[in-house]
Amino acid sequence: MHIILASSSPRRKELMEMLEVPNLKIIPARGEEIPPEHAGPGELVMALSAAKAREVAARCEPEDLVIGADTIVWVDGHAFGKPHTGEEAAAMLRRLSGDTHEVYTGVTLIRNGQAVSEYERSRVRFRPLSEEEIADYILTGEPMDKAGAYGAQGKGALLVESIEGDFFNVMGLPVCRLGQMLKKQGVKIL
Catalytic sites, residue numbers: 70
CB 69 within 8 A of CB 106: yes
CA angle 49, 173, 113 (to 5 degrees): 35
Backbone angles phi, psi at 159, to 5 degrees: -95, -20
* Element containing residue 106 per DSSP (H, E): strand 100-111
Quick one: DSSP state of residue 189? -
Question: Phi and psi (nearest 5°) for 70?
Answer: -150, 140
Which residues lie closer than 8 Å to 80 by C-beta, 6 or more apart? 72, 73, 74, 92, 95, 101, 147, 148, 149
d(CA 123, CA 57): 31
